[in-house]
């Protein structure tokens, strides 16, 4: 049951991350607006898209799911920060959809990190014991 739940959460997070890539990479008006408002412009839009793609791929690989979740948590924390400081919950009349998707990615990534804690704790312990 844990395995099914873990896969379900990871797939949902990865799908959310991947579905936004089209808008970022094609310079959709909403995406351009968001990144202009935050001062990150096209480099921020493309860079975050690449980072989200990497996070989504890592989430779907069992050995690196924890790393993908950690990346997604970091990326989406930035998105939530901008929603709560300069963008607002609703962006260009979307009814808050982007904000709520960001919250879902944040929660799903945190759940994945918790479920995969043994794997990332092993990695951290491996680094600390070598140093």
DSSP letters for the chain: -HHHHHHHHHHHHHHHHHHTHHHHHTT-HHHHHHHHHTT-HHHHHHHHHHHHHHHHHHHHSGGGHHHHHHHHHHHHHHHHHHIIIII-SS-TT-TTHHHHHHHHHHHHHHHHHHHTHHHHHHHHHHHHHH-
Q: Give mean pLDDT in consecutive 10-residue pieces for the chain, a chain of 131 residues.
A: 92 97 95 96 97 98 96 98 96 96 98 92 77 56
Q: What is the pLDDT of residue 120?
A: 83
If one counts the domains in the chain, the total is 1
How much is the pLDDT for 122?
Answer: 82
Confidence (pLDDT) at 131: 56
Show the domain range for 79.
Answer: 2-130
Query: What pLDDT was estimated at residue 129?
Result: 73
Q: Give the model's pLDDT for residue 48.
A: 97
pTM over 0.85: yes
């Amino acid at each position: 049951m844990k395995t099914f739940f873990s896969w379900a959460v990871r797939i949902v997070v990865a799908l959310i991350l991947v579905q936004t890539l089209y808008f970022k990479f094609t310079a959709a008006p909403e995406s351009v607006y968001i990144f202009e408002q935050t001062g990150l412009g096209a480099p921020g839009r493309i860079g975050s898209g690449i980072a989200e793609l990497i996070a989504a791929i890592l989430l779907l690989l069992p050995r690196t799911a924890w790393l993908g979740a950690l990346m997604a948590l970091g990326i989406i924390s930035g998105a939530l920060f901008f929603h709560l400081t300069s963008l607002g919950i609703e962006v260009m009349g979307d009814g808050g959809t982007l904000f709520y998707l960001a919250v879902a990615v944040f929660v799903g990534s945190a759940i994945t990190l918790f479920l995969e804690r043994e794997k990332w704790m092993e990695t951290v312990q491996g680094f600390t014991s070598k140093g």
